[in-house]
Amino acid sequence: MAYDGKILRRALQRFEEDKRAREARARDRREAVFRRQPRLREIDAELRATMSRILSTALRKGTDPRAAVEALKKQNLGLQEERRLLLEGLGLPADCLEEKPACPLCGDSGWREGRMCRCLRAYCAREQQKELSRMLDLGNQSFESFSLEWYSETEDPALGVSPRENMDWIYRTCKRYAAAFGPGSGNLLLTGDPGLGKTFLSAAIAREVSAEGFSVVYDTAAHVFDRFEARKFGREEGEAVEADVDRVLDCDLLILDDLGTEMTTPFVQSALYTIVNTRVINRRAAILSTNLKLDDLGRRYTPQIVSRIEGEYQVLPFFGEDIRRLRKERG
């Protein structure tokens, strides 16, 4: 799961801050117990010293350390029993002074067997949702809040299906896509006029997929092409523009909105092909959203781009009345 560098940095910062806060609270709890029973502080220091002596004795060369190690172990057990009885007298559990990690899988390191642990992934997911919320209304745009009432039940004679029936199929398709998302998930092409729910369902997918710990990038086509152009022609220097391009190519799910609203130059054609082709080759999923119909895409973009999209993307055609306008009319 390739998270955007700034999201990972923020997640690591929050992770370390929370870790330090837990450690500080644990120290405060220990100090409070030690103040109630000072002998526990002495036992704690003796146990730590005993463990050090056991290790040094076991590593000593030229002598048989077994007898000394056994004696130290007995001393250690005696101290542990004394500690247990003192804690019991205070009405506290025997393990209340032990330092326990919040995540038993990684010991609060955030990494396990060279891979990101699920505890750190949860931090990344939260930071990513904050980032997505800057462009999408994740709080209100979800599968649970989606409504078919805005779509007419009157059948379109040219298509043989009503807008509501069509949207019910699109809704269920998007919901299944989000629920089953994983490495190698397919691609979606959302087409249709503005105000029909393309961005709403894109946000619902982004919400579900990011909550599962996958990296999601949502951006407009115009802004993405601008970042590619800035890198290509050296308008900007430094790591920021490189990171913007890398996140588009490497994230688990790319949602590219408003495709077709950009000025279609030869460079834009090249950048779009790079994005589509690279992600197909690397089996990284993408959702393209456009107000253009398939025929319009064919006239606007090169045959290579259109061929890739037609061959690798499931088309979800939106039609009906503009929901934003209907909302205003109905108050």
* Residue-by-residue pLDDT tens, the chain, 331 positions: 567 777 888 889 999 999 999 999 999 999 999 999 999 999 888 887 876 665 565 556 555 556 666 766 777 888 888 999 999 999 999 888 888 889 999 999 999 888 889 899 888 888 887 877 777 766 678 899 999 999 999 999 888 999 999 999 999 999 999 999 998 899 999 999 999 999 999 999 998 998 888 889 999 999 999 989 888 776 666 567 787 888 899 999 999 999 999 988 999 999 999 999 999 999 999 999 999 988 899 999 999 999 999 999 999 999 999 888 888 877 6
Q: Is 4 left (phi over 0), alpha (psi -120 to 50) or beta?
A: beta
Distance CA 317, CA 99 (A): 56
Q: Residue 235: what pLDDT?
A: 65
Q: Residue 57: what pLDDT?
A: 59
Phi, psi of 237 (to 5 degrees): -120, 160
Q: Residue 63: what pLDDT?
A: 57
Q: In this structure, what token pair is assigned to residue 244?
A: 């913007």
Distance CA 87, CA 167 (A): 63
User: What CATH number belongs to 135-330?
Assistant: 3.40.50.300
Q: In this structure, what token pair is assigned to residue 184?
A: 């190698």
Count CB-CB contacts under 10 A for residue 35.
10
> What letter would DSSP give residue 134?
T
Beta strands in 77-148 (DSSP E): 111-112, 115-116
Count CB-CB contacts under 10 A for residue 245.
18
Please say whether the beta carbons of 218 and 252 come within 8 A.
no
Q: Residue 1: what pLDDT?
A: 58
Please say whether the beta carbons of 202 and 218 come within 8 A.
yes
Distance CA 245, CA 227 (A): 7
Distance CA 267, CA 273 (A): 10
Place of tokens 């043989």: 160
Residue type, 48: R
Cα 11 to Cα 17, 110, 129, distances in angstroms = 10, 11, 11
Q: Residue 59: what pLDDT?
A: 59
Residue 248 burial (C-beta neighbours within 10 Å; 0-12, 13-18, 19+): buried
Q: In this structure, what token pair is assigned to residue 255?
A: 């949602």
Distance of CA 235 to the CA centre of its chain: 30
Please say whether the beta carbons of 254 and 221 come within 8 A.
no
Distance CA 296, CA 276 (A): 18
Distance CA 188, CA 314 (A): 5
Distance CA 89, CA 232 (A): 71
Distance of CA 225 to the CA centre of its chain: 24
Residues in contact with 277: Cβ distance below 8 Å, sequence separation at least 6, in sequence order: 308
Strand order through the sheet with 313-317: 216-220, 253-259, 285-290, 187-191, 313-317
